Amino acid sequence: MGSAASGGVRPTGHSTTELRILLEGRGEELERSRRLLNEKDREIEKLKHEIQKLQSVLRETNDLEIEPILRSGQKRRAKFAVSGETWTASNATNVAFELIHHNKDFRSKQLIKDAITNNDFLKNLETSQVVEVVESMYEKMISQKEFICKQGEPGNALYVLAQGCLEVTQDGKTLGHIKPGKVIGELAILYNCSRTASIQALEDGKLWVLDRKVFKTIMMKSGLERQDRYMKYLEKVELLEKLGKEQLAKIADVIEEDCYFEGDHIVREGERGDTFFIINEGHVRVEKRTDEGTAIELNRLGAGKYFGEKALLSEEYRTASVIAASKVVCLTVERDAFCQLVGDLNELRDELANKRYTGEDDKKISGTSGGSVIQVLDKYKNIELDHLNIVATLGVGGFGRVELVTSSFFPGQSLALKCLKKKHIVETRQQEHVKSEKKIMMEADSPFIAKLFKTFRDRKFVYLLMEACLGGELWTVLRINGTFDDPTARFCVACVLEAFEYLHNKNIIYRDLKPENLLVDSSGFVKLVDFGFAKKLMAGRKTWTFCGTPEYVAPEIILNKGHDFAADYWAIGILMFELLTGNPPFVAPDPMKTYNIILEGVEKLDMPKKVGRNATNLIKKLCKSNPTERLGYGKNGLMEIRKHRWFQGFDWDGLRSRSIPVPKSIKPTLNGPTDTSVFDHYEKDTTIPEDEISGWDENF
């Protein structure tokens, strides 16, 4: 009988080669499916982050209007700005007079101090500030069932529980209990916000209370007094007498305090010198050795005197020893820090002598559009509010709406009309910010800043008639793309740098950088908008108002140390990270946790692999916790950032002349001046806000 072939039975229908091809095809299909699943997982994680941020905002912010959802399913605005009352030196001076120290026994003081040092935010305060906070807190007795605070109500005080037990509830559900020695409500001392939960006493007890205005005064007063004291010392140093206030203020920022005990050598003869000393407390003796090796006392110096100033010129050998004659506290400046912030003193003095150093009053204003801002404004001076026709709504928010408008006064063109509710502005105490926004934007003349042409007012609104940027918010473009590649992110950040150079050269700090405040014009170039938190600084001075977007605020703003242009450099680093990864680096379910993560520092961040080495290096240099160490804060300003390797080969001249190719991912395709296809559809607003006639807006 016949049998099967000795090689065994071969399956019918497919050859070996066909099976191998089929398996390879299935393998590739499986790999594609895995990649797709991974992409979906990443998208889910992004959406989770957005949900967390939105939940946080809804808990912490008053009177927010929920905006429609984008086609991609994500919220149009993910980040909302916050602001405290405008806080100036006059505030601190006036309230400082009212600061009262309240008597406490030792145990009470220790309980408050321990509560502060165990709190993630308050532990960052300086020792002198902790002492002042402890002394300034006042006692409040509470009864059983009494509410310490109620969910949704505004908060303006911080508490430390001394006696009793408190219950925390949110939306009627019990979240937990608070025992003595805990801090309650620290977010309320930073800015006006709604309480996120209700707290009720379960038994009679006692609280120690600190009001926001007292905390702000303590922080600002200590910072101002320290800066003024340091500046007065520096102004007496002959070597520094020709430096301007801006340079002296930078030196004051890097001064450190060192303590020495009687007999300690502060400076030893023959050593190389790299530190300059100012005596803050105590006395020193200056000695020099003779050829025979004996020490001869040359002089005695007390508080306010200085020595070692030649170390700022070069690392020469010390020609004498300086020894503490008592307990001594010295203010010190390192030569490296001095040169980084101010420059080589020899060269600087030569420039001053030859009048080649222009100082803060003669800064070159770069980045201008080349046209006269007065001529541009004249074009629109005869337009009145009733000359405008609303085409569509470009955006909505808590303060009002932005409408796209046309008019026979500017045929073939469209503009944006920002309509701000006056009642809401007054209720949130933002009058000064709105007035500042108008002044700064009316004077601005840069192709990287959206232009403001005219303002109006009536009983319900103030109106800002502005340039329309029909490419939409950069935030929207980013969300559609997910992330930007290096060339696109580089282009966007370069546009911001041009805008910041223009502003900083006019001593204006911006303070609210984020993709939501960057608009794309019809050609694809990025423009800065929304100047509600911008402020003009006096030379060498800081500002103290807490404002900005939680994910973007710099550590010195959180800690109320006073801030200046360095806060904008920090924000550039955060913007880079968000453009490259799709999310800012510091994100938490609520603002206070976000602030605590920021205070931990960028060094603790795990940089995603997709962020390249050069980008990572620049982000970390911009986001130094110490503002004086940030790239851009040194003597060469923003040029330090431009010269970083991440920008190597970038065409800055092409950007300024608008001849550089725009990245395809952000360049809009528009069909005329009224094309709003990149914006969401908004229903007509039928609500009528209340009148507000206090007169704060008389110059609009």
* Residue range 456-484, pLDDT digits in tens: 999 999 999 999 999 999 999 999 999 99
Q: What is the model's pLDDT at position 365?
A: 46
Task: Flag whether pLDDT at 134 surpasses 70.
Answer: yes
Task: Flag whether pLDDT at 11 surpasses 50.
Answer: no
Confidence of residue 72 (pLDDT cuts 50, 70, 90): very low
Task: Flag whether pLDDT at 337 surpasses 70.
Answer: yes
Task: Flag whether pLDDT at 2 surpasses 50.
Answer: no
Task: Flag whether pLDDT at 87 surpasses 80.
Answer: no
Task: Flag whether pLDDT at 159 surpasses 90.
Answer: yes
* Contact present, 63 and 398 (Cβ < 8 Å): yes
Mean pLDDT value across residues 512-517: 95
Pick the more confident residue, 250 or 659: 659
Binding-site residue ranges? 394-402, 418
- Domains of the chain listed by start with CATH number: 99-218 (2.60.120.10), 245-358 (2.60.120.10), 474-656 (1.10.510.10)
Residues 403-439: tens digit of each pLDDT: 999 999 899 999 999 999 999 999 888 898 899 999 9
Among 196-210, 228-242, 404-418, the least confident range: 228-242
Pick the more confident residue, 101 or 90: 101
Q: What is the model's pLDDT at position 364?
A: 46
Q: What is the model's pLDDT at position 571?
A: 98
What does the DSSP 8-state code read for residue 272?
B
Q: What is the model's pLDDT at position 39?
A: 64
Task: Flag whether pLDDT at 382 surpasses 60.
Answer: yes
Pick the more confident residue, 72 or 47: 47
Q: Phi, psi (5° rounding) for residue 625?
A: -65, -35
Tell me which residue has tokens 């497919």: 14
Task: Flag whether pLDDT at 368 surpasses 60.
Answer: no
Confidence of residue 176 (pLDDT cuts 50, 70, 90): very high
Question: Which of helix, strand or coil describes residue 1?
Answer: coil
Binding-site residue ranges for ATP? 394-402, 418
What does the DSSP 8-state code read for residue 25?
H
Task: Flag whether pLDDT at 679 surpasses 60.
Answer: yes
Q: What is the model's pLDDT at position 401?
A: 93
- What end-to-end distance do the CA atoms of the chain give, in Å? 110
Confidence of residue 312 (pLDDT cuts 50, 70, 90): confident
Q: How far apart are CA 141 and CA 522, in angstroms?
A: 62
Q: How far apart are CA 412 and CA 61, in angstroms?
A: 40
Confidence of residue 357 (pLDDT cuts 50, 70, 90): very low
CA atoms lying within 13 Å on the CB side of residue 275: 16
Mean pLDDT value across residues 308-321: 84
Task: Please state, rounded to an integer, the average pLDDT across all residues of the chain.
Answer: 85
**Nearest-10 crossing angle of helices 212-235, 89-96:** 110
Among 33-42, 59-68, 648-657, the least confident range: 59-68
Mean pLDDT value across residues 522-548: 91
Confidence of residue 376 (pLDDT cuts 50, 70, 90): low
Task: Flag whether pLDDT at 76 surpasses 60.
Answer: no
Residues 556-600: tens digit of each pLDDT: 999 999 999 999 999 999 999 999 999 999 998 889 999 999 999
Q: What amino acid positions are annotated as catalytic residues?
A: 512
Residues 604-655: tens digit of each pLDDT: 888 999 999 999 999 999 999 999 999 999 888 999 999 999 999 999 999 9
Q: What is the model's pLDDT at position 611?
A: 95
Q: Name the pTM for this structure.
A: 0.80
* Contact present, 493 and 358 (Cβ < 8 Å): no
Q: What is the model's pLDDT at position 291?
A: 83
Laid out side by side, the sheet with 265-267 consists of 265-267, 321-324, 284-289, 295-301
Q: What is the model's pLDDT at position 485?
A: 97
Instruction: Provide the greatest CA pair distance for the chain.
Output: 126
Q: How far apart are CA 513 and CA 534, in angstroms?
A: 10
Residues 138-155: tens digit of each pLDDT: 999 999 999 999 999 989
Q: What is the model's pLDDT at position 223?
A: 86
Confidence of residue 68 (pLDDT cuts 50, 70, 90): very low
Q: What is the model's pLDDT at position 47?
A: 59
Q: What is the model's pLDDT at position 664?
A: 95
Q: How far apart are CA 404 and CA 419, in angstroms?
A: 11
Count of CB atoms within 10 A of residue 407's CB? 17
Tell me which residue has tokens 């010269």: 643
Amino acid at position 420, single letter: L
Pick the more confident residue, 98 or 136: 136
Pick the more confident residue, 72 or 185: 185
Q: What is the model's pLDDT at position 344?
A: 75
Tell me which residue has tokens 């060094």: 603
Q: How far apart are CA 265 and CA 322, in angstroms?
A: 6
pLDDT over 70, % of the chain: 83
Q: What is the model's pLDDT at position 7?
A: 42
